[in-house]
Amino acid sequence: MSERHEELSLEMRRFNALPIAKPFTIRFLGTLVVYELVVLLLFRLLLPLIEYSFLLFLFIAGLCIGGGFYIRRHSPMLNVPLAVNMNHPFMSDAELGNAMVMVQFSDGTWADIGVGRVRLTADELMGGTLLIRDDDNYTGIGHFSNREPSHPWLKRYVILINQVIALRDAVNGDEDTIEDARERESIDYGLLERSWLKVDEDLEIEPDGIFSKLRRE
């Protein structure tokens, strides 16, 4: 297991700060603007019926600010527990060095995802979901989330993480393990359920292709 870190290093960028996540940021801002306009419109309609006061102003301000935080918190693709460095294809097409991928665990710490694809399983001791290696031993990586493995957000996250790992391995010149993992999947271990995201042979994945699959999950 890689060393855990409380904070990301300067070379790492969270998924929501990447150019590829821009469509999700725009969608969030659009939703936020609509929400704020609805709150202000209701305030304008109710103003003749109630006495204006500083407390009322604070209440409306609280609705606007609190609602914004709520929408942000419940936007799954703006809360992906994933980060890449400057050499990853999500950041740049230029191959300047080794690409790195880090994930965030339920305790807020970050660690390098390591070698090989990952999958989810229920944590029988603590509850929630464990992130494990998709190998013959199902090696544990860490407690990933307090949500159950069947949660839609987690299904999206693990698909995206495996895509990011595949792109990292392609840039670093590592042997692609996707086909090996698919072959293992044909053997019924009776332990976990999973779904694969199809990957082009050259691994040049366009954002629209990834996100259209994520939205269908």
Burial class from Cβ neighbours inside 10 Å (0-12, 13-18, 19+) for residue 32 reads middle
Tell me how far apart the alpha carbons of residues 141 and 3 are, in angstroms, rounded to a whole number.
11
Summarize pLDDT for 86-137 with one digit per residue, the tens.
Answer: 889 888 766 678 899 999 999 999 999 999 999 999 998 889 999 999 988 8
Angle of the 207-216 helix axis to the 152-172 helix axis, nearest 10: 150
User: Is the pLDDT confidence value at 186 over 90?
Assistant: no
24, 42, 76 — which closes off a domain?
A: 76
**Considering the domain boundaries, does residue 181 fall inside one?**
yes
What is the average per-residue pLDDT within 35-62? 83
Same-domain check for residues 31 and 99: no
42, 76, 110 — which closes off a domain?
A: 76
Tell me how far apart the alpha carbons of residues 152 and 194 are, in angstroms, rounded to a whole number.
13
- Percent residues over pLDDT 90 in the chain: 50
Tell me how far apart the alpha carbons of residues 70 and 23 are, in angstroms, rounded to a whole number.
19
User: Is the pLDDT confidence value at 152 over 60?
Assistant: yes
**Considering the domain boundaries, does residue 2 fall inside one?**
no
Which range of residues forms the domain containing residue 20?
A: 16-76
31, 55, 76 — which closes off a domain?
A: 76
Number of helical H runs and strand E runs in the chain: 5, 7
> Which pLDDT belongs to residue 201?
39
Better pLDDT: 203 or 67? 67
Dihedral, CA atoms, 108, 111, 116, 117, nearest 10 degrees?
20
Q: Rounded mean pLDDT of the chain? A: 80
**Considering the domain boundaries, does residue 114 fall inside one?**
yes
Q: State how many domains the chain has.
A: 2
Helix (H, G, I), strand (E, B) or coil at 94: coil
Same-domain check for residues 92 and 34: no
Same-domain check for residues 85 and 191: yes
